[in-house]
């Protein structure tokens, strides 16, 4: 799995309430959720995010409630990958379940800047900042996680007979 995109950067403790505010949880429409993604944290996110962009963030990304709406909103907005110092446990699993690629790499999350272009090869555990030329190592995803993400989520992987 390889991803290349421009970076949108956030800090520590980005919680699910700012990823997708509770007032929008009355819908499961992915496009509608994407249209409100990050609006309580970053009013410009929706207007500037492009297909394939990558979010970098600090510690405890996705803390808060266990809503699956949060990773759905991120993925539906066009973000291909989230790189953080750490993730809230339930967000991590929800992201994998819906097919959003996420990876913990503290050094990359710290050093990569807003607007940098990043290339990530998650099969081999390499993140490369194309803007600066710096490379970071991370653990590659296990095969079963790769299958889930490649199929667009756990349910689709099962439907496709990936397991």
Q: pLDDT value at position 110?
A: 98
15-18 long-range contacts, CB within 8 A, separation 24+: 15/62, 15/63, 15/64, 15/65, 16/62, 16/63, 16/64, 16/65, 16/66, 16/67, 16/69, 16/70, 16/91, 17/64, 17/65
Is the pLDDT confidence value at 56 over 90? yes
Q: pLDDT value at position 86?
A: 98
pLDDT by residue (tens digit) across 98-119?
999 999 999 999 999 999 999 9
Is the pLDDT confidence value at 128 over 90? yes
Q: pLDDT value at position 38?
A: 97
CA atoms in the 13 A half-sphere facing the CB of 102? 28
Is the pLDDT confidence value at 66 over 90? no
Is the pLDDT confidence value at 57 over 90? yes
Which letter does DSSP use for residue 16 in this model? H
pLDDT by residue (tens digit) across 32-52?
999 999 999 999 999 999 999
Measured CA to CA, the distance from residue 158 to residue 61 in angstroms comes to 27
Rounded average pLDDT over 54-75: 95
Measured CA to CA, the distance from residue 88 to residue 60 in angstroms comes to 5
Is the pLDDT confidence value at 67 over 90? no
Is the pLDDT confidence value at 159 over 90? yes
Contact 56, 83 (CB under 8 A): yes
Number of residues assigned to the chain: 163
């Amino acid at each position: 799995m390889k991803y290349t995109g421009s970076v949108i950067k956030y800090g520590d403790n980005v919680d699910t309430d700012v990823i997708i505010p509770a007032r929008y949880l009355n819908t499961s429409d992915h496009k509608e959720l994407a249209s409100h993604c990050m609006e309580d944290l970053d009013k410009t996110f929706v207007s500037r995010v492009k297909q394939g962009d990558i979010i970098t963030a600090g510690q405890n990304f996705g803390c808060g409630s266990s809503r699956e709406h949060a990773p759905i909103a991120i993925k539906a907005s066009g973000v291909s990958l989230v790189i953080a110092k750490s993730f809230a446990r339930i967000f991590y699993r929800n992201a994998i379940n819906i097919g959003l690629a996420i990876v913990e790499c503290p050094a990359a999350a710290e050093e990569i800047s807003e607007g940098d272009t990043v290339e990530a090869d998650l099969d081999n555990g390499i993140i490369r900042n194309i803007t600066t030329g710096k490379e970071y190592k991370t653990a590659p995803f296990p095969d079963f996680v790769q299958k889930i993400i490649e199929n667009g989520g756990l349910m689709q992987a099962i439907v496709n007979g990936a397991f």
